[in-house]
């Protein structure tokens, strides 16, 4: 997916115009890209496939991240349950097998297509709202704001999906019988216990993570693609530039969003009534017992996961779009 910054009012093709392409504002000398010339249906399907690639590639490390973020802590804990990322992975695999790392994957998999569709819809709408003069290129600040705007849209799907995911990821780490039998059973029991308020528990923390995080995600992707094309003199993005830009964008997202994600995971994993004031109570307890560095607990598996998972996303989108173009 290429979104260039150097827009110029110019009709660049004498061919029959596509109904999905605004020829007036294409960059000078650049051919229409996938995003501009393909139908919204193809883009939606390809985006969903890219999201699935992200989940499949990155979910094991996400499971490790959640275990590290929510393990018992405080002055009364003399020996931490896990000493780090590798220790956590080893213990989880030893206890539950390799497939234990994929617990809770059904929830994010079920939501990736609408999440990616809504995310890019919000991004496109945000750019339109921010760009007052359509003849002038967007600045990096405007890309950040447009990306942040899309984070508002995705929260409505992400918050309940991640609430269920966290509960499924953690349930077997506690002694006793299995509490939830999959995504649907978990969602049903959470709703019966606390209603929609419980299902959407952590929505404010999700907003605090996704608005700035998604803004940085799109900004980083645009910036890296621009710089690669400047260095190489290429007019179009390559597979390597897509991998690099997507991977860097994923890491940039978590640099910004990690603190809010730690608070979200603890809030969503806690029994009802544990934190009376939501993320404010979580933050106060965390600062008192563990200090500011706890806001980046689990950052190692996140960063290890971020690059390949987001690179896989963008590559998946490109490959699936090519397949659709051959079939239809």
Banded pLDDT at 259 (limits 50, 70, 90): very high
**Per-residue confidence band for 38, with pLDDT thresholds at 50, 70 and 90:** very low
Q: What is the pLDDT of residue 325?
A: 83
The yes-or-no verdict on residue 288 having pLDDT over 50 is yes
Q: Does domain 34-327 have CATH number 3.40.50.720?
A: no
CA distance 168 to 63: 10
Spatial separation of the C-alpha atoms in residues 314 and 312, rounded to whole Å: 6
What residue ranges do the domains of the chain occupy? 34-327
Q: Which residue has the tokens 């000493």?
A: 83
- pLDDT confidence tier of residue 93, bands split at 50, 70 and 90: very high
24-33, 129-138, 257-266, 269-278: lowest mean pLDDT where? 24-33
Q: In Å, how far are 33, 205, 296 from 301, measured between CA atoms?
A: 34, 20, 11
């Amino acid at each position: 997916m290429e979104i260039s910054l150097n827009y110029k009012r110019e009709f660049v093709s004498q061919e029959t115009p596509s109904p999905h392409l605004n020829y007036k504002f294409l960059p000078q000398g650049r051919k229409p890209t996938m995003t501009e010339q393909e139908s919204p249906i193809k883009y939606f399907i390809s985006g969903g496939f890219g999201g699935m690639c992200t989940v499949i590639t990155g979910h094991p490390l996400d499971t490790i991240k959640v275990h590290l973020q929510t393990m018992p802590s405080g002055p009364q804990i003399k020996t931490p349950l896990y000493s780090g990322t590798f220790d956590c992975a080893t213990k989880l695999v030893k206890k539950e097998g390799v497939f234990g790392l994929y617990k809770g994957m059904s929830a994010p998999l079920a939501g990736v297509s609408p999440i990616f569709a809504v995310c890019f819809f919000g991004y496109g709408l945000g750019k339109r709202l921010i760009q007052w003069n359509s003849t002038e290129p967007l600045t990096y600040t405007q890309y950040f704001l447009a990306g942040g705007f899309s984070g508002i849209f995705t929260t409505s799907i992400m918050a309940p999906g991640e609430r269920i995911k966290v509960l499924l990821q953690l349930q077997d780490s506690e002694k006793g019988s299995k509490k939830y039998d999959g995504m649907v059973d978990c969602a049903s029991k959470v709703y019966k216990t606390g209603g929609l308020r419980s299902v959407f528990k952590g929505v404010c923390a999700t907003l605090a993570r996704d608005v700035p995080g998604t803004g940085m995600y799109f900004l980083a992707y645009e910036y890296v693609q621009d710089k690669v094309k400047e260095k190489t003199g290429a007019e179009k993005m390559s597979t390597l530039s897509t991998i690099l830009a997507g991977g860097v964008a994923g890491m940039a997202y978590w640099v910004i969003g990690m603190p809010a994600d730690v608070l979200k995971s603890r809030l969503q994993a806690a029994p009802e009534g544990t934190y009376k004031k939501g993320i404010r109570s979580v933050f106060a307890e965390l600062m008192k017992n563990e200090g500011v560095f706890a806001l980046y607990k689990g950052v190692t598996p996140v960063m290890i996961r971020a690059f390949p998972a987001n690179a896989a996303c963008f590559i998946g989108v490109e490959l699936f779009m090519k397949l659709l173009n051959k079939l239809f």
